[in-house]
Amino acid sequence: MSKLLAPAPLPVLLLLVLSACTTPARGGDDYTAFVYAGCSQARYDPGSQYAADVDTTLSSLVNSAGYTAYANYTSPSAATGLAGVYQCRSDLPAAVCGGCVKSAVSKVSSLCNSAAGAAVQLRACFVRYGNDSFLGKQDTTVLFKKCGGESAGDTGVVAMRDAALGALVAAAAPPAGDGSYRAGAAGYVQAMSQCVGDLGAKACTDCVSAASSQLKAGCGYASAGEVYLGKCYARFWSNAGGGSGNGGVPAVGGGAGTGSSNGVGGVGGANNGYAYGGFVPNTYGQHDESGKTLAIIIGLVAAVAIVIVLLSFVRRAGGVGGKS
């Protein structure tokens, strides 16, 4: 005679369901979260001198990242003319920088395998290599822009945003080579920017000014936004209603009224043979419609599962009682 399997205790099942539904997603403290990548259309042959120089360049960048927020490397091989650079957020510890650059190099290898030139931006670092003589050159090409959250037409938030972004441009430029990290705030809106260390002080200020203008013009009443140019990026976010809760720069999601984002081709211009695309994870749950939809679906699935278990429990309990 087969034994009836006792159903799982309901409190345990509920705990498991609730744990699955309430596990928090990683937000702005995920410094290695992917933002965008660009790969040149030109390729190099495996086993070639260029391939060896790429490996040497990327290894050199990884080895330096645990000690300094910025470094560049130029291959001694005149035939390839290869150079590489990385830039971490210079307000973060060296260990975070080292881990971020290592992850970025891994992304380069997987997303841009055998590409003659490539660039990868993670939340806390940027890595690029190529033979197109990009070191020390200004580049304000928009590569990726995203805005998220609505402030319900609050002109006060817009004014604070503009003031916070203006503070980035007006900030005294740090010496070139140290990463040129800047921070600004106005009311409950905060902003930050970061240039690549190969830019001089004036070039960094010009790049940050261009990034700030992009955010002001393109983010409308959004409560957060970020834009990545060829040699710098800028972000802003509102701490109204609790902010990101982690004291760091939150990952920006959604779009300014549309939920859209764009990844635009062209480090150094649209005709340089680079193809770009990217993704920034949504973390503004109160403004993220896709997040709300997902939560509703999970809730419905959980409710159905609970009903099925309860009916199974009642049926089995009735069966046991009828046989006794």
Tell me the domain boundaries of the chain.
34-130, 142-238
Lowest mean pLDDT among 119-128, 204-213, 291-300: 291-300
Q: Do domains 34-130 and 142-238 have the same CATH topology?
A: yes
**Is pTM, for the whole model, over 0.85?**
no
Q: What residues contact 166, with CB distance under 8 A and at least 6 apart?
A: 184, 212
Question: For 35-87, what is each residue's pLDDT tens digit?
Answer: 999 999 999 999 999 999 999 999 999 999 999 999 999 999 888 999 999 99
Paired strand residues for 39: 118, 275
**What CATH number should be reported for the domain whose range is 142-238?**
3.30.430.20
Domain spanning 34-130, CATH class = alpha beta
Long-range pairs, 41-46, Cβ under 8 A, ≥24? 41/273, 41/274, 41/275, 42/115, 42/116, 42/117, 42/273, 43/114, 43/115, 43/116, 44/114, 44/115, 44/116, 45/114, 46/114
The pLDDT tens digits of the residues spanning 113-164 come to 999 999 999 999 999 999 998 999 999 999 999 998 766 566 788 999 999 9
